[in-house]
Amino acid sequence: MAAGESAQRFASRLREMQAETVHVGMVDAEGEFRTKSVSAQKAVKLVSEGYQFCEVLHYWTVDESPFLDTAFPDQPAALDVDTLRAYPFADNEAFCLADFTGPFGARSARNVLRAQLDELESQGSTLLSAFEFEFNLFTDSREKIAENAYVAPRSFAPENRTYSLRTFAVHSDLLKGLQRTMAHLDVPLEALHSELGPGFFEAALTYSKGMRSADNAALFKNFARAYFARHGLLAGFMAKLSLDLPGNSGHVHLSIRDAGGAPVFADSSDPHGISEACRHFIGGVNLLLPEMMAMVGGTVNAYKRIRPGTWAPVMPGWGIQNRTCAQRVINDTPDSTRIEFRVSAADANPYATLAFLVGAGLYGMRNRIDPGPPIEGNAYARPYDKDAALPRDLGEAARRLAASGKARKMFGDSFVDSHAAIRTKEYADYEAYLDRISPWEIRRYLGIV
């Protein structure tokens, strides 16, 4: 569609929404939205004439520390007019996603995902997917937690239990408010419930087609944090806050439909009701996950969650309705047959995660990768295979991604180099911290050895 036609359609929708202000959001490498608020008139002009944004979004780590010596010029970008939505925190305001274009845009996980979806759609197929996120709520602000040296932040609803009626009865206004906020933003929730532990909750998003699923996932995390902050609470999507508490998952459910709308992963003649295409998709994900894990786990903390017995698998594998596996096949009915990817944590970048899954799954389908038989029983009881296991930390994951020829062929050198560089810097910052003398060492050794 020509820029002029897009601008006209965009302007028409803004008038229908009676929007006077548009929040233009770009997603950085960590999945955080960086936004500017502009007038509706200015937003229409940006659609028509293009958008410029500082390139630092792909040159800094999660703490906003640039790690490259550059002038940080603006780079060309474009608004995605199909992402225009109502802004949930004010009347007569709208929200729209943008992304870098041209050579610099090749660094963007969202653009990488777009390329994978385009390949799938060129075959006449459509991806259906949905994310589900576990998260923590705290009554302490970030400032208060910092004052307490990040030790034992106070949890919201400390009496909380899994699937708790009491939690929802006591805090129904707050939780219904979250659902209303997401509905206003057009991010529908399939379910919302309390999870195991104080202040733990899980939100399952309704499935969507193509890019919209990842957009909804990114919007949910960012706007949920903002919603709870407006109520004096801190929402945390860290993978693992404490070894004494469960981790926060970011599972992904996905399936494929053919041009006629039929489920590609279902086959009623198979004993498990799944097709060869489904098996090959699983095989590709299992095969490539160890070398591309940095796309799924992009933080140091993500690897603290991947431990035996924590519902977060340490090795690739699959099973039928088996929650201890990396990939769980859900085969209740042919129409709902899908794969649940259980490795990603709540801190994962939805675009990078889904790009990996589609790219690896398509690789498996093209090359007919056999995943082997499904795992029965507890997957953690299998002998640990170091060669087949997932990387143990972010440093190893970043090195393996940078060295992956398959990743470079699938996602491009620009993305792989950029993504691996940011993860390498993140792990280097962690190692520098570990080099400090810790309170544990002083308490353990001072005056004794």
Residues 374-389, mean pLDDT to the nearest whole number: 88
Span 139-165, pLDDT tens digits: 988 888 888 777 778 889 888 888 788
Q: What share of the chain is helix, strand, coil (3-state, %, to 5)?
A: 40, 20, 40
The rounded distance, in Å, linking the Cα atoms of 269 and 262 is 15
The rounded distance, in Å, linking the Cα atoms of 324 and 312 is 7
Residue 346 above 70 pLDDT?
A: yes
Tell me which residue has tokens 């309390």: 194
pLDDT band at 341; cut points 50, 70, 90? very high
**Domain assignments of the chain as residue spans, ordered by start:** 3-104, 115-412
CB 174 within 8 A of CB 231: yes
Residues 37-54, mean pLDDT to the nearest whole number: 96
Residue 169 above 90 pLDDT?
A: no
Helix (H) or strand (E) holding 126: strand 126-138
Residue 383 above 90 pLDDT?
A: no
Q: What is the pLDDT of residue 1?
A: 58
Q: What is the pLDDT of residue 2?
A: 62
Span 313-325, pLDDT tens digits: 889 999 999 999 9
Q: What is the mean pLDDT of the chain?
A: 94
Helix, coil or strand: residue 115:
helix
Helix, coil or strand: residue 418:
helix
Helix (H) or strand (E) holding 6: helix 3-17
Span 85-119, pLDDT tens digits: 999 999 999 999 999 999 999 999 999 999 999 99
Q: What is the pTM of this model?
A: 0.95
Q: What is the pLDDT of residue 133?
A: 97
Q: Please, which residues have CB within 8 angstroms of residue 223's CB and are 6 or more apart in sequence?
A: 88, 181, 182, 185, 187
Residue 3 above 80 pLDDT?
A: no
Residue 14 above 90 pLDDT?
A: yes
Residues 340-368, mean pLDDT to the nearest whole number: 98
CB 370 within 8 A of CB 276: no
Could you name the CATH architecture of 3-104? Roll (3.10)
Residues 214-234, mean pLDDT to the nearest whole number: 97
The lowest-confidence range among 68-72, 279-283, 309-313, 414-418 is 309-313
Q: What is the pLDDT of residue 153?
A: 84
DSSP assignment of 403-414 equals T-HHHHHHH-HH
Q: What is the pLDDT of residue 424?
A: 97
What are 274's two structure tokens? 């799944």
| Sign (positive or negative) of CA dihedral 16, 22, 24, 25 | negative
Q: What is the pLDDT of residue 207?
A: 97
Task: Quote the CATH superfamily of domain 115-412.
Answer: Glutamine synthetase/guanido kinase, catalytic domain (3.30.590.10)
19-45 burial, b at 16+ Cβ within 10 Å, e below that, comes to bebbbbbbbbbbbbbebeebebeebbe
The rounded distance, in Å, linking the Cα atoms of 158 and 291 is 39
pLDDT top residue among 152 and 179:
179
Q: What is the pLDDT of residue 15?
A: 97
Residue 186 above 90 pLDDT?
A: yes
CA 42 from chain centre, in angstroms, equals 31
Span 419-429, pLDDT tens digits: 999 999 999 99
Residue 414 above 90 pLDDT?
A: yes
Residue 11 above 90 pLDDT?
A: yes
The residue count for the chain: 449
Span 248-291, pLDDT tens digits: 999 999 999 999 999 999 999 999 999 999 999 999 999 999 99
DSSP 160: -
Do β-strands 252-257 and 208-209 pair in parallel, antiparallel, or remain unpaired? unpaired
